[in-house]
Structure 1
Amino acid sequence: MNKIIPVSCAIIFSDRKVLCAQRSHTMSLPGLWEFPGGKIEVGESPEACLIREIKEELAISIRIGYAMTPHEHSYSEGQIIRLIPFVCSWESGNIDLLEHQKVKWLAKQELKFLEWAPADFPIVEDLIGNWNNIEKQLVDYKRER
């Protein structure tokens, strides 16, 4: 029986770029790039998890816009990561690398040049393919608030 581990991740937009984080050498998959986030705890919503994880990993506050299509990836036999991406905007704070070794703000055309963690790769493809629509929805969402 496969165990599905729910994980939420943030696609954080600022100035038409997205925040990408490089995993440190103390993490699994060191040196690979990902969208920051983490495992959802029992009783925690994916959104609450993401707000907590981004504070813990990067020391910033985000505003969650909406969820993108989740993707599942199996890193090891019997364990499947269900990665739930959320389009977000950076609200406040200065980035402090508490877990990752590096972050980059990248434009759409730059995303494909990073070496991504396998679970994040389908999200990168979705993001590139839907970039203009995502940006428009994020702007509309900000306007409504």
Structure 2
Amino acid sequence: MNPPTPSDSKATKFPVSVKGVLINDHRILLLKNERDEWELPGGKLELHEEPTDCLAREILEETGISVRITRPLRSYVYWVADVVPVLIVPFICECENFDSLRISNEHKEIATFDLSELDTIRLPMGYRTTISDAIANT
């Protein structure tokens, strides 16, 4: 049986964003987006792309660092501006250090934060929960 074509499918577009949790020496890597929110690095999954390949590519593009993806975390739906649903698929990642960070044109800022500082920044609750899950799983 052939897979359904877009014309006979009832599904609507539902973006998937693959995100990475990178923690070194009690510091986490975050990027500031166009909504002035801090977020985990990563990006949209392309058709026929493996989630881990997407994540490694996106993190390299956004930060200039190479990562090793170790394990998935719990996925969830995030509503961008309470309008667009996006499936967030997070993974725990490892990198040697944050010494060679660079920012891409996709974000306003790049920074590392001590884990104790997360309550002082504008970080969506889904990312907070994901970071807590990552800490509990390491």
Instruction: Specify the TM-score bucket, using the shorter chain as the normaliser.
Output: 0.7 to 0.9
Give 1:97's aligned amino acid. I
Q: Distance in 1 between matches of 2:32 and 2:83?
A: 26
Cα-to-partner distance string for 1:57-116 (whole Å, 9 max, x where unaligned):
111101111111011023368742001111111147711111322222223221122112
Q: Indicate yes or no: 2:127 matched with 1:123.
A: yes
Q: Indicate yes or no: 2:37 matched with 1:32.
A: yes
Give 1:6's aligned amino acid. V
Q: Which of 96, 100, 124 does residue 94 from structure 1 map onto? A: 100
* Identical pairs, percent: 25
Provide structure 1 residue ranges, at least 5 long, that are not aligned to the other structure. Answer: 138-145
Q: Output aligned runs, 1:1-145, within 5 Å.
A: 2-23=12-33, 27=34, 29=35, 31-75=36-80, 79-91=84-96, 94-99=100-105, 100-116=107-123, 118=124, 121-128=125-132, 131=135, 133-134=136-137, 137=138
Give 2:102's aligned amino acid. D
The TM-score with structure 2 as length reference comes to 0.78
Higher CA-based Rg: 2
Give 2:115's aligned amino acid. K
Bigger helix share: 1
Q: Distance in 2 between matches of 1:50 and 1:130?
A: 16
Query: What's the Cα RMSD here?
Result: 2.3
Cα distance change, pair 42–14 in 1 and its aligned pair in 2 (3 A): same
Q: Any conservation in 2 of the 1:2–1:79 contact (CA below 8 Å)?
A: no
Q: Distance in 1 between matches of 2:108 and 2:82?
A: 28
SS in 2 for 1:52: helix
Cα distance change, pair 105–41 in 1 and its aligned pair in 2 (3 A): same
Cα distance change, pair 42–91 in 1 and its aligned pair in 2 (3 A): farther
